[in-house]
Structure 1
Amino acid sequence: MLITQLQSIYPTLILSKPAEMSHPEDFQWYETPSNETIAISKEELTDKDEQLLSLFLSPLSLESHWGTDRERAWYHYLKEDVHELTIDAPLYYRFVFFSIADLPMNKDSFHEAFQSLFPERMPILFESDDQGFIIEEFFSDQQDMLSFDQMIDVLMSDFYTKIRFYISEISSNIHEAPSLYRWAEHNFRLAGKYQPSSVATYKDTMPFLYIDALPASHQKRIQQTVLHQVIEEPDLLQTVKTFLESGSNATLAAKKLFMHRNSLQYRVDKFIEKTGLDVKQFEGAVITYLALLSIGE
C-alpha cells in the first residue's frame, strides 16, 4: 500500500536493489518499515522531498549497500556495462565466489567481519542476501594468497553458519576478466549443485562439467552399464569413490572412512571382481569415477 501511494507521487520509484541495476548511483535509496528496498530517481527529488521521505523511510548509503568506488568499477566492468576497468588494475587477480547458508547478522555487519579477515581491503560484492563474490587482487609478486580453508573455519566457528567458496584460477590478463568471471560463476553453480567440498577450485569442478553436460538419460545409461552389479550397495560405492579421491591410497582412504585398511582393500577387490573394472589402473579408475559422479551425493 505504501509503495503504491509513493509511486503515484514519484513515478520513477521502483522496488529493487542496487546490485540489480546498472546505474544505482542515479537513484536515492530507502528502506521501508517492512524492510523493502526502494529507489527513486534523484532528478525527481528536491531537498524538501528527501527531508519528508526521511521521516518515515530509512535512507540508505549507496556505499554501504552498493560498495566502494572500486567495487562498483569492478562490477560494471564484469557485467560489461563498460568496456574497460576504470581503476588501476592489479598485477594478478582471481574470483572467489561464496554462499552463506544462514546470514547470522545484517549483511553490512557480516561484510565488515568478512573484510577484516583480509590483510588488505578486497572488493566484496553481494549479489543476493546469501551469495556474492570477492575479487582477490594482487599488486605485487610478494603478496601472499589467502587460505580460504582457514578462513572458512574461522567464519563457521564465529558465526555458526555454513559457508562455501569457489576459487577461480589466477589471471594477469585484465581484458579476459569478464569471461573469466562468467566461467567462474558457472563453476560456482556446479560446485553448489554437486558440492565436492566446502572450498572448491576449478580442479574440483572439472569432472562435473562433463557429467552436468550429459542428458539425464545418458547419465542413467552410464550407471546401468558400468555399475549395475553394485548399484544397490551404497557403502561399497562410497568406499571406492573415497579410494579414488584419495589418489588410490588405501591407507589415506581408510583413515577418511574410519575403517581398517584391510577392510577397505577387501571392498575395493570386491568391486573389481563384481564389475570387472580394475580401479587400481588408470582406465578403470577414470571410467568408474565418472560413473560414480553421475550418481551424485
Structure 2
Amino acid sequence: MTKIEQLKQIYPSLIVVEELSIEPSHKYQLFRTDEKQVIAILKTELHQKEVQLLHLFLTPISKQDDQKTAREQFWFSFLEGHSDELMAEPLPQKFRFVFFSLSDPTVDRQTFQEALQSFFPRVMPLLWENHQQGVIIEEIMENNQEPITFQPLIDVLMSDFYTKIHFYLSEFSESPLEGPSFFQWAKKCFHISMRNSIGPVATFQEVIPSLYIESMPKAERTMISDSLFSTVRNDQDLLQTIQVFLESGSNATLAAKRLYMHRNSLQYRVDKFIEKTGVDIKQFQGAIITYLSLLESDR
C-alpha cells in the first residue's frame, strides 16, 4: 500500500491534484510528497497536532506557493522534470542557484522575498521549498551584469528580520540543458552546508571537504579521527585552536586575532598539537588530513 493510499484511509477527503492546476483554497490544505505528487486534504479533517505531524514527511504548500510568475513556473516545471526544456524567454547567458534557509519559521515570506529581490538589478525567479527554505535563480542576462555579493547582503537581512539566514551559492552554469542535474547537485551541497554549519554564506569550494567526508563510511571516518586525535581527544580547546588555525590558511597572526589570543600562545598550542599527535600541520599533507578529521569530529 502506497503512502497516499494509507493517508486516504485516515483522511477520506484526500485527493491527488495536478501541479499546474493548483488553486488557492480556504477549504483544503495542500502538501507535496517526496515523489513530487501534490495532495489536498480538507482542513476540517485536520487538527493542529496532525498538521505538525504531517509536516515531518510532507511539504506543506501555502497560497503563496501558487503565486509563481510565469518565469518561475517555467523554471519549476523544468527543474522538477515536468518539462524537457526551459521554456523561459529570453534564456540567461549563465545562471546559478542561491539556496537560502531561515531559522525563524514565522518570518513573513512575502516581505522577505521582496527584501531579497531588492538587491538584484531585476526580479529573479524564486522558488520556495517549504516555509523556511527556498532557492533564487540568479540569471545573468547581459555581459556587464555583475553577480551579487552575498556576504554584506546577509548582514542587512539578518538585522532587518532578526533571524539567522544561511545561503549556499552554487557555481555558475552556461548550459540550461544541464539545469535539472545541476540543480539536484547544488541542492545536495546546500544540505551538506547546512548539516556542517558552513556559513552563513557557503560556496561550493567550502563544501568540498565535507563532500569527501560524507562519501566515506561512518565507521572509517571515526577510525581515522580516533587514530589521529587519541592523545588530544579530551583537549577541546586545543582542537578548536588547530581548526581555526587551519581555516585561517595556517596564518598564525590571523588565527590569533580570530581567537582573541596572543600569537605566541597560539604558536605554543600548534607546537603542542604536533608534539602530542606526531602530525606536522605546518606541512600540507598533515594540515589536510587533520582538517578533514576535525570536520568529522564536529559532526
TM-score (norm 1): 0.82
Secondary structure of 2:212's aligned partner: helix
Counterparts in 2 of 1:256 and 1:168: CA distance versus 1, 3 Å:
same
Corresponding residue to 2:226 among 208, 215, 224: 224
Question: What are the equivalent positions in structure 2 for 1:50-65 lying under 5 Å apart?
Answer: 65=66
- Contact 1:99 1:132 survives alignment (8 Å): yes
Match of 1:133 in 2: 135
Question: What are the equivalent positions in structure 2 for 1:142-157 lying under 5 Å apart?
Answer: 142-157=144-159
Secondary structure of 1:29's aligned partner: coil
- Contact 1:196 1:205 survives alignment (8 Å): yes
**Larger-Rg structure:** 1
- Contact 1:29 1:37 survives alignment (8 Å): no
Counterparts in 2 of 1:116 and 1:103: CA distance versus 1, 3 Å:
farther
Alpha-carbon offset, residue 291 of structure 1: 1.0
Question: What are the equivalent positions in structure 2 for 1:185-264 lying under 5 Å apart?
Answer: 185-264=187-266
Match of 1:94 in 2: 96
Deviations 1:198-230 (A, max 9, x none): 100010110101111222211210111111111
Structure 1 residue runs of 4 or more that deviate by more than 4 Å after TM superposition? 11-14, 37-41, 60-64
Match of 1:85 in 2: 86
Corresponding residue to 1:181 among 169, 183, 188: 183
Counterpart amino acid of 1:252? L
- Contact 1:94 1:170 survives alignment (8 Å): yes
Alpha-carbon offset, residue 290 of structure 1: 1.1
Give the gaps of 5 or more residues in structure 1.
Answer: 15-20, 42-59
- Contact 1:103 1:161 survives alignment (8 Å): no
Alpha-carbon offset, residue 114 of structure 1: 2.2
- Contact 1:104 1:160 survives alignment (8 Å): no
State the distance in 1 between where 2:273 and 2:242 align: 8
Alpha-carbon offset, residue 108 of structure 1: 2.2
Match of 1:46 in 2: none
Alpha-carbon offset, residue 168 of structure 1: 0.3
- Contact 1:104 1:159 survives alignment (8 Å): no
State the distance in 1 between where 2:39 and 2:181 align: 32
Alignment pair present for 1:75 and 2:79 = no
Counterpart amino acid of 2:221? Q
- Contact 2:248 2:255 survives alignment (8 Å): yes
Match of 1:17 in 2: none
Deviations 1:167-218 (A, max 9, x none): 0001111111111101100000100100122100010110101111222211
State the distance in 1 between where 2:265 and 2:64 align: 58
- Contact 2:95 2:139 survives alignment (8 Å): yes
Give the gaps of 5 or more residues in structure 2.
Answer: 1-7, 32-37, 41-60
Corresponding residue to 2:115 among 110, 113, 116: 113
Q: Which moved more, 1:152-161 or 1:117-126?
A: 117-126
Counterparts in 2 of 1:195 and 1:36: CA distance versus 1, 3 Å:
same
Alpha-carbon offset, residue 145 of structure 1: 1.0
Deviations 1:43-81 (A, max 9, x none): xxxxxxxxxxxxxxxxx9977734101011001111111
Alpha-carbon offset, residue 104 of structure 1: 4.3
Match of 2:287 in 1: 285
Alpha-carbon offset, residue 287 of structure 1: 1.2
- Contact 2:150 2:201 survives alignment (8 Å): yes
Q: Which moved more, 1:107-116 or 1:127-136?
A: 107-116
Counterparts in 2 of 1:12 and 1:236: CA distance versus 1, 3 Å:
closer
Deviations 1:270-292 (A, max 9, x none): 00011111101011111111111
Deviations 1:78-101 (A, max 9, x none): 111111001121001000111101
- Contact 1:73 1:87 survives alignment (8 Å): yes
| Coordinate RMSD, CA, aligned | 2.5
